[in-house]
């Protein structure tokens, strides 16, 4: 009898040990998903995505974000999703990390797991347009992924399906041939729930959501910061510009020649490393999306040191000010049939 009792107790201890081991090996996801269910019961939310710590610092410095007292955050896959409100609008915020892979992954994760109405992506960017200035905030109507190209043999001509050509020999000093040859810019392969399954269509310009751009256009009179402090100021008052073009690639652009090529070839006004990925992921899933970027530098167009170290924080603050006002003005009918998936790319 004692032996049976010992065996039963021993078996129970083994089972408990296995459960404890299991609970510490897998359940972080289980606990997070359980918490997400509770968060979603209080939804829906506007998804907010920024990139790296200086932008996050500016976001919290504005002071508009009020964390949820009961469920302030959810940790998942190494990222922390913050739950709260801005102007009584429920939001979920995450810092995705630098680059297109991080941006696409965080966006997909947010759309898959949270009860999201649409995505507001924000941060800083380089300025490729001489008619704009550092400190300005741009809300582009379309983005191109300018990091997809074919690096061609120097003797090979451009293919019919390539968008544009960059010849390296044009930039030789002195002029002459260049073994790097040329590259041909290519299209994205765009998969969408509105298309046929497993069939992509070519896409170069990805449009942000027209209805949200119209809301943003009403913010053009917003007052943006001109001074970093009492001794460091921009020469002109920053402005909000809505409806231009932006480009994205896994490239930090700090080169005048490449900056001019991007502007002359694609007429883009801003360059960054995440926006196109956020826009394409949102559109692929059928969600509204808008991008708000403060211009922190001239992407190599300056004569001296890149100004991102000086004016990056000011550009981030200006972008965040626009984000907060955009959310305030955004009217969402969450009961509208088909919303948000009624908005097509």
Q: Is 345 part of a structural domain of the chain?
A: no
Q: Is 195 part of a structural domain of the chain?
A: no
Number of domains the chain is built from? 1
Q: Is 270 part of a structural domain of the chain?
A: yes
Tokens representing residue 314 in the block: 């000011």
Exposure string (b/e) for 40-64, b if CB count within 10 Å is 16 or more? Answer: beebbbbbbbbbbebbbebbeeeeb
- pLDDT at position 9: 45
Contact 144, 204 (CB under 8 A): yes
- pLDDT at position 117: 97
Q: Is 2 part of a structural domain of the chain?
A: no
pLDDT tens string 230-287: 899 999 999 999 999 999 999 999 999 999 999 999 999 999 999 999 999 999 999 9
Q: Is 194 part of a structural domain of the chain?
A: no
- pLDDT at position 343: 34
Please state, rounded to an integer, the average pLDDT across all residues of the chain. Answer: 88
242 is in which domain, residue-wise?
37-144+201-329
CATH number, position 258 = 3.40.50.1580
Alpha-carbon span 132 to 129, nearest angstrom: 6
Q: Is 215 part of a structural domain of the chain?
A: yes
Residue 334 has pLDDT above 50, yes or no: no
pLDDT tens string 9-62: 444 444 434 443 444 444 457 788 889 999 999 999 999 999 999 999 999 999
Q: Is 102 part of a structural domain of the chain?
A: yes
Residue 344 has pLDDT above 60, yes or no: no
pLDDT tens string 154-191: 877 767 677 998 989 999 988 888 889 899 999 999 99
Q: With both helix axes pointing from N to C terminus, report the angle between 308-329 and 210-217 in degrees, rounded to the nearest 10.
A: 100
Q: Is 293 part of a structural domain of the chain?
A: yes
- Of 212 and 19, more confident: 212
């Amino acid at each position: 009898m004692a032996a049976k009792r010992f065996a039963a107790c021993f078996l129970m201890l083994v089972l408990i040990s296995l459960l404890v081991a299991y609970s510490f090996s897998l359940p972080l996801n289980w606990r997070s998903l359980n918490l997400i269910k509770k968060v979603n019961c209080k939804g829906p939310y506007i998804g907010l995505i920024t990139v790296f710590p200086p932008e996050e610092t500016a976001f919290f410095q504005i002071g508009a974000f009020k964390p949820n007292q009961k469920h302030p955050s959810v940790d998942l896959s190494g990222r922390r999703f913050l739950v709260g409100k801005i102007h009584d609008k429920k939001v979920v915020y995450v810092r995705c990390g630098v680059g297109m892979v991080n941006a696409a992954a965080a966006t997909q994760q947010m759309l898959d797991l949270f009860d999201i109405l649409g995505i507001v992506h924000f941060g800083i960017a380089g300025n490729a347009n001489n008619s704009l200035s550092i400190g300005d905030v741009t809300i582009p109507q379309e983005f191109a992924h300018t990091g997809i190209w074919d690096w061609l043999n120097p003797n090979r001509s451009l293919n019919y399906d390539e968008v544009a050509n960059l010849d390296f020999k044009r930039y030789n000093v002195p002029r002459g041939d260049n073994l790097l040859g040329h590259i041909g810019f290519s299209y994205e392969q765009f998969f969408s729930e509105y298309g046929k399954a497993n069939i992509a269509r070519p896409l170069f310009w990805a449009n942000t959501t027209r209805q949200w751009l119209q809301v943003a256009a009403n913010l053009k009179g917003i007052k943006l910061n001109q001074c970093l402090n009492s001794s460091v100021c921009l020469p002109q008052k920053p402005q909000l510009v809505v409806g231009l073009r932006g480009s994205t690639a896994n490239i930090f652009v700090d080169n005048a020649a490449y900056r001019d090529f991007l502007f002359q070839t694609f007429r883009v006004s801003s360059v960054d490393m995440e926006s196109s990925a956020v826009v394409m992921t949102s559109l692929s899933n059928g969600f509204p999306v808008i991008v708000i970027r403060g211009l922190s530098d001239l992407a190599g167009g300056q004569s001296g040191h890149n100004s991102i170290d000086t004016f990056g924080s000011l550009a981030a603050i200006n972008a965040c000010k626009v984000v907060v006002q955009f959310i305030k003005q955004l009217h969402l009918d969450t009961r509208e049939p088909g919303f948000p998936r009624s908005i097509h790319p």
